[in-house]
């Protein structure tokens, strides 16, 4: 099943035959630029809308379960934590945590602007980038800032977490940064991906003794 949002203000579910699954998707009243996220059991979808709300949707029926007023457009994808907690950012630079029932848990201002979707690791640590050049790690239980790292440009890309827990994220300073699990305050390495000179694809080769290694090879 594929779940998507649309500029017609409705979320859609499409099966493998490209047929619409929900006969009457509900209308949020504004564009949906946010990518949906699914609960671990696949029964609930979460999606943001430019009507300033985050919605929980019945994944089978396409009906609204609950909504939460974010007081700002929601254009990034939610992230789901190990215990089902929903983490979401808004255009004002806030990270908000909600329970699976849609109850407010905490909010942390990391502004100014957040265009990055979040990622959550197995230890319930939330990673997100900001347009003031920083990558943040927040403790998912209470929003406490575990660490932040300043890059040389805005961080609009979404962090990715490897199977070994390594966090990788790109920055507008033309670098890709990798942070070792549990020690992410300390930069382990960076790969420059600028446009001048020969271009090299990058890939994560190994993580050895907690130190991430990025390698590059010619095309």
pLDDT tens, residue by residue, 35-56:
999 999 999 999 999 999 999 9
What radius of gyration do the chain's Cα atoms show? 18
Q: Is the pTM of this model over 0.85?
A: no
Give pLDDT, residue 21: 85
Question: Which is more confident, 180 or 100?
Answer: 100
Query: Do 55 and 48 contact (CB within 8 A), yes or no?
Result: yes
Q: Considering the domain boundaries, does residue 171 fall inside one?
A: no
Q: What percent of the chain has pLDDT over 90?
A: 45
- The residue-averaged pLDDT of 109-125 equals 88
Give the chain's end-to-end CA distance (angstroms, integer): 35
pLDDT at 76 over 60: yes
Q: CA–CA separation, 136 vs 191, rounded Å?
A: 19
Average pLDDT, the chain: 82
Asked whether residue 55 is domain-assigned, the answer is: yes
pLDDT of 196 higher than 90: no
The CATH number of the domain holding residue 41 is 2.130.10.10
Is residue 103 domain-resident?
yes
Calculate mean pLDDT across residues 66-81. 93
Q: What phi-psi label fits residue 166: left (phi over 0), alpha (psi between -120 and 50 degrees) or beta? A: beta
Total tally of structural domains belonging to the chain: 1
Tokens representing 41 are 């059991």
pLDDT at 184 over 70: no
Q: Does the pLDDT value for residue 144 go beyond 90? A: yes
What is the per-residue pLDDT for 215?
38
Q: Structural domain of residue 54, as residue ranges?
A: 2-156
pLDDT at 216 over 70: no
- What is the number of alpha carbons within 13 Å of residue 96 lying toward its C-beta? 25
pLDDT above 70 (res 159): yes
Q: Is the pLDDT of residue 218 over 80?
A: no
Cα dihedral 115, 45, 169, 179, rounded to 10, equals 130
Beta strands in the chain (DSSP E): 2-4, 12-14, 37-38, 44-48, 53-58, 64-69, 79-80, 86-89, 94-98, 104-109, 119-120, 125-129, 134-139, 145-150, 160-161, 167-170, 175-179, 187-192, 202-208, 211-216
3-state secondary structure of 101: coil
How far, in Å, CA of 37 to CA of 35, rounded?
A: 7
Dihedral sign, CA of 162, 49, 141, 152? positive
Domain assignment present for 211: no
Give me the pLDDT at residue 200, please.
32
């Amino acid at each position: 099943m594929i779940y998507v949002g649309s500029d017609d203000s409705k979320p859609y579910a499409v099966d493998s035959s490209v047929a619409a699954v929900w006969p009457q998707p509900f209308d949020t009243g504004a564009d949906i630029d946010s990518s949906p996220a699914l609960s671990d059991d696949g029964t609930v979808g979460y999606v943001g809308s430019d009507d300033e709300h985050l919605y929980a949707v019945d994944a089978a029926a396409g009906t609204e379960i609950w909504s939460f007023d974010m007081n700002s457009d929601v254009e990034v994808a939610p992230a789901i934590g190990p215990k089902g907690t929903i983490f979401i950012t808004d255009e004002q630079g806030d990270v908000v945590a909600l329970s699976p029932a849609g109850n407010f848990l905490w909010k942390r201002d990391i502004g100014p602007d957040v265009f990055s979707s979040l990622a959550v690791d197995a230890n319930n640590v939330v990673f997100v980038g900001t347009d003031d050049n920083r990558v943040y790690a927040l403790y998912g239980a209470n929003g406490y800032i575990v660490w932040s790292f300043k890059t040389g440009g805005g961080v609009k890309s979404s962090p990715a977490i490897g199977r070994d827990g390594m966090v990788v994220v790109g920055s507008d300073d033309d670098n890709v940064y990798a942070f070792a699990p549990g020690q992410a305050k300390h930069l382990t390495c960076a790969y420059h991906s600028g446009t001048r000179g020969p271009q090299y694809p990058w890939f994560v080769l190994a993580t050895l003794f907690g130190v991430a290694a990025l390698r590059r090879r010619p095309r």
